[in-house]
Structure 1
Amino acid sequence: MIRKNFVKSCMLVCMALAISSCNNSRDYNGSSRATGWDLSGKDGGVSYKTDYEEQDPGPGLLFVEGGTFTMGRVQDDVMHDWNNTPTQQHIQSFFIDETEVTNIMYLEYLDWLKEIFPPSEERYRNIYTGALPDTLVWRNPLGFNETMVKNYLRHPAYHNYPVVGVNWIQATEFSQWRTERVNEKRLEEKGYTVRGAYKDASAESLFSTETYLNAPSLVYGGNDSITRGGKQSDRLLRNNPDSTNIYVQRKDGELLPAYRLPTEAEWEYAALGQSSVREYNTYRGRKKYPWDGQYTRSAERTNIGDQLANFKQGKGDYGGIAGWSDDGADITNEVKSYAPNDYGLYDMAGNVSEWVADVYRPKVDNEFNDFNYFRGNVYTKNAIAQDGTVKVLSQDEVIYDTLSNGKIVARTTPGEIVQVEIGESETYLRTQFSKSDNINYRDGDLSSSRFYGQNNADAEDQNMYNSPENAVTLKDGEMQRNFDDSSGRTTLIDDNVRVYKGGSWKDRAYWLDPAQRRFYPQEMATNDIGFRNAMSKVGSKSNKGRRTRN
């Protein structure tokens, strides 16, 4: 009887697997489940990629599987500033840089800018100079740091050290540049564009991912010999000379999502690396640092007593007594000098603090949203030219920002699609958002300000935060710096301050807690703030699929 039941069970399992495999084959055999039409693109039909597996990680990135965690829960709050209210958040899976962006990575960006936009030409000068890190951040009126001023960025001894002196705006522009260069290389490797196209790039002939996806004929200055000259494009044209599907489209899954700064929630989730304290669907205790335990020294037998991060250990103590148990650095240290956390990420505590994408506010509004929390959304859309095509910036239409400290930075590069704010057609009768700029949503808009409900004609112009208003203006061709020295200011918070996370080489251990958060003006830089990039993951939550515990 037992044997018969066993045989029946085996037969049922086999039948279920056969049915399942049949269903899968029907899903992915090139036929539509909706109409039965062919989706393979043969005979001139519509083509869809039905055998897509998983998104490739971009260069330098590691996968972080999303999940729930308690954001803002710190071990200590000696400041008593109510800045870290614990909130339960859920984060989608994403990719993040294994290490902080290094000097040599940033130098590659600078050298590319210098080649494409020679600073010797007046119209391009501010593109290159606006991207340069501020090396003077190393100077101290009562300290001798000229060695770092002159050498830290460019000397090969510091190539693999994290870049500093970069403000938040420069970090976001680097992220955009990295996106374009990575996707440009992918198209070349897959044979869609001419090999070596990037070597012949110029200000008049540049690649932009969004321009390629929306108007491929306008990429590289409209040079079809580049965008249609790859081996794969040649093959497609030979098979169908009239085909317009020789360009990669978003539905092909070949191009990667954008490199960007991680959100505060993503960065904190990745830094904690709580997989080591996970048990089924709960966490066994809490983590104070990216590593296990409550101390900054290793308890492992092989390296017992070694410091696990680069931080300031006390007054006048930036590394310890020379020799054993010294943390190996006085300023920053070479990336990968300390053990990674459970996600394989290095220096998520110590070395340098890191910019994240969020606009700073003292309170995280988890009452409104507890999924992929982020403050800083400004929604835009592609500008449309009179002929109905997207408007692409020429080399003479670069958009610049003059920052409050007088620095001029380029916010766009030639070849990009012009972005404009969304209007009523996109917001009418929507329940989730009603305007383009949502930085002040539920915090700083009129309905949540201290002036709401007052019979004050000027209430619309009142700011939520009484921060200094420093500005730079041009008068008779001269730059006028207007420093706000008002004694009536009560806060430094405004819409242009950004969160930075993690302790640095000049911070005490208190700041190594991933939940700690601070803010700094987005146009200013320091010698202890760097950054790393992240990338959203599309598709499944896990790279490996769900599997049983045992």
Structure 2
Amino acid sequence: MKSPFLSRINGALCLAALLSVVGCTSSGNLYKAPKVSAFRGGKLPPPPGMVYVPSGTILFKGSLDSGNVGKNVSLSAFFIDEAEVTNKQYRKFVNWVADSIAVTDYLQDDQYFLDIASEDGSSKRIDWKKVNRISPIWKSQDPSITEKLMPMLVMKGYNRSLNADVVKYTFSFLKTKGNLKKEYVTETVSVMPAEDIWSKDFPNAQLTSLDANYFSHQSFDYYPVVGVTWRQARAFTDWRGKEMMANVMKNSYLSGYQLTFSLPTEAQWQYAAEGKIDPRDTIAGKRMTIDGDNGKEKLAVNYKQGEGTYSRDGATFTLPVKSYLPNAFGIYNMAGNVSEWTLDAYSPSAVAFVNDLNPVLLYDADEKDADALKRKVVRGGSWKDNGEQLNSETRNYSVDYEPHSYIGFRCVMSAFEMPTVQSKTRKY
């Protein structure tokens, strides 16, 4: 007579044999991981308008007066805009917000919606294919439409413009106040840039023509957008991420992934600006290039060369975002043209307490907080800054609600680490 224990052993062996047969027939490759081979080129195909930045390490320093010599930090791979966000790109955002408000709040015409009422009783869904055919709606010459949209509009001279108090974008994000408090909140942000920012920044200069034309005229389509606050820049990144995931990613290899868009952290920004594909490189970029016509050196960065000297680099103010040559990563104008917002809150000693892996210092100040808590890191130097501000390690700041004619931004999107030659499986 068999003991109960032996019966259980024999039963387990029979079950194991059965499972092995099933495994071989239905999922034979489940436990057969392939050997690692280097991804060709070591980088992923980027989304439109972006470049892939592989993982790497930089020396991350604090402010010059903080007394901190810095520390090495590592960044995982990410995508970053190859150029600063342009007027044309930001106008598309403004028009999208304006069209949404026009259709939903003022026109309220069923022809602009996919269905008259959604199943759960929530708000109706806009038929963007139909709306985009007549976008921007606020510029319509149809008197019946214009009359309904009057609360959205203001007159600037003889021209209609959008009312900044009406055209606002609402989005949700994880609000962070250091390590003290984290909660999801919904925020509404006016999206219109400060078009008269040129005269406000330079009150004793004759810049009214830039006030009137820089953002709105098509001749400035590919110039960097300015007059945008940090809060507006973050709203744009939220919108762009949603738009790209809805219209581009669904047909790409990135479909199905949860990927986030944001402003670059200052560590990401510095790493991308240095453009060091080989960590042994010591030169991040050159300010001079050779003129092919006469063989002489000429400036290759848009900045202030000296007191009252702005134009030797080819422009008195900003330049189109793809002026000059890109760096080793394929990124344009990480030095000069416009300074750029980053995601980080500003602290002179941030390097002392941020992580050494994907460091970022997050602090979303409340309206009632002091301006010192609303400071955000600005990097890169601009058309009105001297050469010292162009160094990739130089840190500056502005408060999150202040726009300027010399600050723009670009977006980043999370990416994946690709196996390189370093991690390729080899024989010992």
TM category (shorter chain) comes to 0.5 to 0.7
Report how far residue 32 of structure 1 moved.
6.6
* TM-score of the pair, normalised by structure 2: 0.65
Conservation of the 8 A alpha-carbon contact between 2:68 and 2:352: no
Report how far residue 497 of structure 1 moved.
1.2
Q: Among 289, 305, 327, which residue is 1:298 paired with?
A: 289
1:312–1:54 CA distance, 2 compared to 1 (3 A): closer
Matching of residue 164 in structure 1 with residue 43 in structure 2: no
**1:306 partner SS:** strand
Equivalent residue number for residue 132 of structure 1: 192
Q: Distance between the aligned counterparts of 2:325 and 2:43, measured in 1?
A: 29
Report how far residue 274 of structure 1 moved.
1.6
Equivalent residue number for residue 67 of structure 1: 56
Matching of residue 493 in structure 1 with residue 372 in structure 2: yes
Q: Distance between the aligned counterparts of 2:78 and 2:222, measured in 1?
A: 24
Q: Among 395, 399, 411, which residue is 1:533 paired with?
A: 411
1:346–1:84 CA distance, 2 compared to 1 (3 A): farther
Conservation of the 8 A alpha-carbon contact between 2:250 and 2:256: no
Q: Summarize deviations over 1:485-526 as a string: whole Å, max 9, x none.
A: xxxxxxx522x2110100100000101101000111011110
1:259–1:541 CA distance, 2 compared to 1 (3 A): farther
Q: Distance between the aligned counterparts of 1:70 and 1:546, measured in 2?
A: 27
Supply the AA of the counterpart residue of 1:501. Answer: R
1:328–1:252 CA distance, 2 compared to 1 (3 A): closer
Conservation of the 8 A alpha-carbon contact between 2:303 and 2:381: yes
Conservation of the 8 A alpha-carbon contact between 1:502 and 1:514: yes
Q: Distance between the aligned counterparts of 2:67 and 2:192, measured in 1?
A: 33
Report how far residue 536 of structure 1 moved.
1.2
Q: Summarize deviations over 1:137-173 as a string: whole Å, max 9, x none.
A: 1003211101110000011110000000000010011
Q: Among 77, 82, 102, which residue is 1:98 paired with?
A: 82
Q: List runs of 5+ in structure 1 lacking aligned partners.
A: 1-25, 36-52, 191-250, 321-326, 379-400, 405-467, 470-491
Q: List runs of 5+ in structure 2 lacking aligned partners.
A: 1-22, 33-41, 107-148, 153-164, 170-188
Aligned residues: 316
**2:211 partner SS:** helix
Report how far residue 298 of structure 1 moved.
2.2
Q: Summarize deviations over 1:106-136 as a string: whole Å, max 9, x none.
A: 0111111111112848799241681000112
Report how far residue 528 of structure 1 moved.
0.3
Equivalent residue number for residue 185 of structure 2: none
1:337–1:546 CA distance, 2 compared to 1 (3 A): farther
Q: Among 338, 344, 362, which residue is 1:376 paired with?
A: 362
Conservation of the 8 A alpha-carbon contact between 1:71 and 1:87: yes
**2:80 partner SS:** strand
**1:505 partner SS:** coil
Report how far residue 305 of structure 1 moved.
1.2
Supply the AA of the counterpart residue of 2:372. Answer: I
Supply the AA of the counterpart residue of 1:61. Answer: M
1:298-377 equivalences under 5 Å are 298=289, 304-320=296-312, 327-366=313-352, 369-376=355-362
Q: Distance between the aligned counterparts of 1:376 and 1:333, measured in 2?
A: 31
Q: Distance between the aligned counterparts of 1:84 and 1:351, measured in 2?
A: 29
Conservation of the 8 A alpha-carbon contact between 1:308 and 1:338: yes
Q: Distance between the aligned counterparts of 1:96 and 1:538, measured in 2?
A: 13
Matching of residue 142 in structure 1 with residue 204 in structure 2: yes
Conservation of the 8 A alpha-carbon contact between 2:44 and 2:418: no
Equivalent residue number for residue 173 of structure 1: 235
Conservation of the 8 A alpha-carbon contact between 1:65 and 1:541: no
Report how far residue 332 of structure 1 moved.
0.3
Report how far residue 55 of structure 1 moved.
6.0
Equivalent residue number for residue 270 of structure 2: 268
Matching of residue 509 in structure 1 with residue 387 in structure 2: yes
Equivalent residue number for residue 120 of structure 2: none
Report how far residue 299 of structure 1 moved.
5.2
Equivalent residue number for residue 118 of structure 2: none
Q: Summarize deviations over 1:302-326 as a string: whole Å, max 9, x none.
A: 7531111000001111112xxxxxx
Q: Summarize deviations over 1:190-232 as a string: whole Å, max 9, x none.
A: 8xxxxxxxxxxxxxxxxxxxxxxxxxxxxxxxxxxxxxxxxxx
Conservation of the 8 A alpha-carbon contact between 1:71 and 1:269: no
Which of the pair is proportionally richer in helix? 2
Q: Distance between the aligned counterparts of 1:257 and 1:304, measured in 2?
A: 46
Conservation of the 8 A alpha-carbon contact between 2:98 and 2:167: no
Q: Distance between the aligned counterparts of 1:84 and 1:334, measured in 2?
A: 36
Q: Distance between the aligned counterparts of 2:45 and 2:96, measured in 1?
A: 25
Report how far residue 67 of structure 1 moved.
1.2
Q: Distance between the aligned counterparts of 1:87 and 1:537, measured in 2?
A: 24
Q: Distance between the aligned counterparts of 2:270 and 2:89, measured in 1?
A: 24
1:498–1:30 CA distance, 2 compared to 1 (3 A): farther
1:71–1:531 CA distance, 2 compared to 1 (3 A): same
Conservation of the 8 A alpha-carbon contact between 2:55 and 2:77: yes
Conservation of the 8 A alpha-carbon contact between 2:70 and 2:351: no
* TM-score of the pair, normalised by structure 1: 0.52
1:367–1:176 CA distance, 2 compared to 1 (3 A): closer
Q: Distance between the aligned counterparts of 1:544 and 1:115, measured in 2?
A: 50
Which of the pair is proportionally richer in strand? 2
1:57–1:545 CA distance, 2 compared to 1 (3 A): farther
Conservation of the 8 A alpha-carbon contact between 1:84 and 1:517: no
**1:362 partner SS:** coil
Matching of residue 33 in structure 1 with residue 19 in structure 2: no
Identity %: 30
Report how far residue 83 of structure 1 moved.
7.1
Conservation of the 8 A alpha-carbon contact between 2:60 and 2:71: yes
**1:135 partner SS:** coil
Conservation of the 8 A alpha-carbon contact between 2:288 and 2:300: yes
Equivalent residue number for residue 97 of structure 2: 113
Q: Summarize deviations over 1:77-108 as a string: whole Å, max 9, x none.
A: 9xx52377322111111110000000000011
Equivalent residue number for residue 58 of structure 1: 47
1:274–1:131 CA distance, 2 compared to 1 (3 A): same
Q: Distance between the aligned counterparts of 2:419 and 2:345, measured in 1?
A: 27
1:383-402 equivalences under 5 Å are none
Supply the AA of the counterpart residue of 1:519. Answer: Y
Conservation of the 8 A alpha-carbon contact between 1:356 and 1:531: yes
Conservation of the 8 A alpha-carbon contact between 1:186 and 1:255: no
1:241-256 equivalences under 5 Å are 253-255=255-257
Q: Distance between the aligned counterparts of 1:97 and 1:54, measured in 2?
A: 15
1:191-202 equivalences under 5 Å are none
Report how far residue 403 of structure 1 moved.
5.7
